[in-house]
């Protein structure tokens, strides 16, 4: 693995992942009438919606990065999975704690947190992958964690748990914002209606 190429990929990864997150987070503002926006966009302004989009962007960039540098597969998957879960948990704790304490979390603050956490996660990724630790025995649990994320991604958007991580403090709701739900229904009706 070329260290210089990998270093540039990690640096650009922080920026690209942030840009993908930003676009996905605000895609409903651009075009709210399409069903794909409901699946890949932010359903509301909850912590879960922000973090699931970041995790999706991170996984996409990790796949691109893997194809480019071809590191040891199991080590790569373990390190990336561990770091993305650590970032997700840390972000959820920080933002949810602030919201529960009554602090209004603005879009700028949220974006700054995502960008800072993104830079940190890619620095740690570079550091751990350059050390090349033998942690392949965590591969199966990490595959399970990735599967768990996939199931959570699909299930928790329309049917969120009633906990603060899934609560949209701006709109005072859990789950999909009703107007977006109606737009998705109209779109489906136009596709499959008579």
Which residue is listed with tokens 């899934």?
Answer: 166
What digits encode the pLDDT tens for the residues 76-110?
A: 888 889 888 888 888 888 887 887 787 777 778 88
> Residue 133's pLDDT band (boundaries 50, 70, 90)?
confident
What digits encode the pLDDT tens for the residues 38-78?
A: 667 776 777 888 888 888 888 889 889 888 887 788 888 88
E-assigned strand segments in the chain: 167-168, 173-174
Contact between 121 and 83 under an 8 Å Cβ cutoff? The reply is yes
Torsions phi, psi for 168 (to 5 deg)? -90, 105
Tokens of 82: 């561990």
- Residues ≥6 apart with Cβ < 8 Å to 126: 6, 7, 10
Mean pLDDT score, 154-181: 73
Tokens of 13: 């990864």
Give Cα separations from 121 to 13, 58, 84 (angstroms). 10, 10, 7
Range of the domain at 97: 3-192
What digits encode the pLDDT tens for the residues 3-32?
A: 788 888 888 888 999 998 888 877 766 665
3-state helix, strand, coil in the chain (%, to 5): 75, 0, 20
Whether the predicted pLDDT of 136 surpasses 70? yes
Is residue 193 packed enough to be buried (19+ CB in 10 Å), middle (13-18) or exposed (0-12)?
A: exposed
Closest CA to 45 of 181, 171, 159, 163: 171
Question: Within 10 Å of residue 84's Cβ, how many Cβ atoms?
Answer: 22
The structural domain count of the chain equals 1
Query: What's the whole-model pTM score?
Result: 0.77
């Amino acid at each position: 693995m070329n260290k210089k190429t990998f270093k540039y990929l990690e640096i650009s990864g922080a920026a690209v992942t942030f840009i993908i997150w930003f676009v996905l987070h605000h895609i409903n503002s651009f075009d709210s009438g399409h069903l794909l926006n409901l699946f890949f966009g932010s359903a509301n302004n909850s912590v879960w919606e922000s973090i699931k989009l970041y995790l999706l962007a991170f996984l996409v960039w990790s796949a691109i990065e893997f194809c480019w540098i071809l590191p040891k597969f199991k080590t790569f998957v373990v390190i990336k999975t561990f770091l993305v879960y650590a970032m997700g948990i840390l972000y959820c704790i920080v933002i949810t704690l602030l919201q529960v304490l009554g602090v209004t979390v603005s879009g700028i603050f949220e974006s700054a947190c995502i960008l800072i956490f993104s830079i940190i996660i890619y620095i740690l990724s570079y550091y751990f992958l350059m050390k090349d630790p033998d942690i392949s025995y965590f591969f199966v649990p990490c595959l399970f964690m990735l599967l768990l994320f996939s199931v959570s991604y699909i299930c928790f958007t329309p049917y969120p748990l009633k906990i603060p991580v899934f609560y949209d403090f701006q709109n005072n709701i859990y789950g999909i914002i009703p107007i977006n739900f109606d737009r998705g229904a109209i779109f489906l009706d136009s596709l499959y209606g008579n």
